[in-house]
């Protein structure tokens, strides 16, 4: 049985790497506060891996903790290291960079039988869900389409009036034509201004997120803050499919828009089949 030993020091960079592996998020303020709260005798560790367990040694206090792979809740292979979940909330991170290439291959062999343990099926992942002008403008045009239609109907009445009064009263006709023009401009500009103001006032922490679609919910993970929040499909006020994508309403006029191109055709089909099972799903 081959044992593989790695050593590491917990500092600001280690904590940042840990939460990036766990959530894909980088939160400087959170990282600094957590780093400042760690005692000096809780920073230097060694981990010994074998084919059935890993043993964590606190080198400052010469204390040992043993974790059998079979007892762990989950083991994740993140982009930058292993994430060992002792339970749903407590995790340990070990960077790939700590291993020699051959040792890393060996540890992956030890862990391979456990990578699928307690792993939920992910229907789709949107790694870069950005609430930018284009997304919000598209969303607003659809959500507030009835208001826009109202302005267009009013514009048509004004234009019709201008035609009827053209031969009788040129001044009134011109005024009605101007009002019809302003109604059209108002309809378009109100949506554009809404999108611009939404982008300006939205906190930077929530402008860029990852979205993970599971069998029963969506998990939202902001990129710039250590936070996750889940919304079950059944908890949405309404889920609506239209020609450009899917709208997930958290209330009547507030929703998340996912474009069709955010998904592969296969992911979209699986997601749609899943959403059709819910009474709050509508398709235009």
CB 13 within 8 A of CB 80: no
Q: Are residues 128 and 268 in the same domain?
A: yes
pLDDT, residue 166, reads 43
Has residue 170 got a pLDDT over 70? no
pLDDT, residue 262, reads 95
pLDDT, residue 188, reads 59
| Count of beta carbons in the 10 Å neighbourhood of residue 20 | 19
Q: Are residues 251 and 128 in the same domain?
A: yes
pLDDT, residue 187, reads 54
Q: Are residues 10 and 40 in the same domain?
A: yes
Distance CA 180, CA 193 (A): 20
Angle made by CA atoms 76, 81, 86, in degrees to the nearest 5: 45
Given 70, 85, 119, the domain boundary residue is 119
What proportions of the chain, in percent to the nearest 5, are helix, strand and coil? 45, 30, 25
Has residue 162 got a pLDDT over 80? no
pLDDT, residue 190, reads 65
Q: Are residues 21 and 40 in the same domain?
A: yes
pLDDT, residue 189, reads 57
- Residue 193 Cα distances to 32, 82, 123, 190, 270, angstroms: 38, 45, 35, 5, 36
Q: Are residues 191 and 98 in the same domain?
A: no
First-residue to last-residue Cα distance in the chain = 61
Residue, of 57 and 89, whose pLDDT is higher: 57
Given 201, 218, 239, the domain boundary residue is 201
Alpha-carbon dihedral sign for residues 10, 208, 220, 193? positive
145-164 and 170-201 helices, crossing angle to 10°: 160
Q: Are residues 70 and 182 in the same domain?
A: no
pLDDT, residue 122, reads 94
Range of the domain at 144: 135-201
The CATH number linked to 29 is 2.30.29
The total number of structural domains in the chain stands at: 3
Q: Are residues 11 and 83 in the same domain?
A: yes
| Count of beta carbons in the 10 Å neighbourhood of residue 119 | 11
Question: pLDDT (tens digit, 9 = 90+) per residue, 210-226?
Answer: 999 999 999 999 988 88
Distance CA 223, CA 231 (A): 18
Alpha-carbon dihedral sign for residues 7, 13, 15, 17? negative
CB 211 within 8 A of CB 129: yes
CA 281 to chain centre: 21
Could you tell me which residues come within 8 angstroms of residue 114 by beta carbon, excluding any fewer than 6 positions away? 69, 70, 72, 75
SS3 148: helix
pLDDT, residue 180, reads 47
Q: Are residues 128 and 221 in the same domain?
A: yes
Q: Are residues 44 and 128 in the same domain?
A: no
pTM of the model: 0.78
Rg value, the chain, Cα: 28
In the sheet with 217-222, reading across from the earlier edge strand, the strands are 122-130, 208-214, 217-222, 229-232
Q: Are residues 100 and 170 in the same domain?
A: no
Q: Are residues 113 and 9 in the same domain?
A: yes
- Residue 10 Cα distances to 44, 58, 125, angstroms: 6, 11, 31
Given 169, 201, 233, the domain boundary residue is 201
Q: Are residues 197 and 210 in the same domain?
A: no
């Amino acid at each position: 049985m081959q044992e593989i030993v790695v050593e590491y020091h917990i500092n600001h960079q280690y904590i940042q790497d840990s939460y990036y592996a766990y959530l894909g998020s980088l939160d400087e303020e959170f990282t600094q506060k957590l780093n400042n709260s760690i005692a000096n005798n809780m920073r230097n560790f060694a981990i010994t891996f074998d084919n059935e367990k890993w043993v964590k040694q606190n080198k400052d206090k010469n204390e040992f903790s043993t974790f059998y792979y079979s007892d762990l809740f989950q083991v994740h292979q993140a982009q930058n290291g292993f994430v060992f979940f002792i339970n749903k909330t407590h995790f340990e991170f070990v960077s790939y960079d700590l291993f020699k290439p051959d040792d890393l291959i060996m540890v992956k062999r030890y862990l391979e039988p456990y990578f699928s343990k307690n792993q939920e099926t992910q229907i789709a992942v949107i790694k870069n869900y950005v609430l930018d002008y284009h997304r919000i403008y598209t969303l607003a045009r659809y959500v507030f389409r009835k208001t826009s239609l109202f302005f267009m109907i009013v514009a048509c009445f004004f234009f019709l009036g201008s035609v009827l009064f053209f031969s009788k009263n040129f001044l009134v006709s011109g005024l009605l034509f101007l009002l019809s023009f302003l109604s059209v401009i108002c309809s378009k500009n109100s949506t554009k201004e809404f999108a611009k103001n939404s982008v300006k006032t939205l906190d930077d922490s929530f402008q860029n997120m990852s979205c993970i679609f599971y069998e029963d919910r969506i998990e939202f993970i902001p990129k710039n803050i250590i936070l996750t929040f889940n919304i079950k499909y059944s908890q949405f006020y309404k889920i609506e499919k239209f020609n450009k994508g899917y709208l997930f309403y958290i209330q009547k006029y507030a929703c998340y828009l996912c474009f069709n191109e955010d998904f592969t055709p296969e992911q979209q089909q699986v997601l749609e089949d899943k959403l059709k099972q819910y009474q709050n799903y509508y398709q235009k």
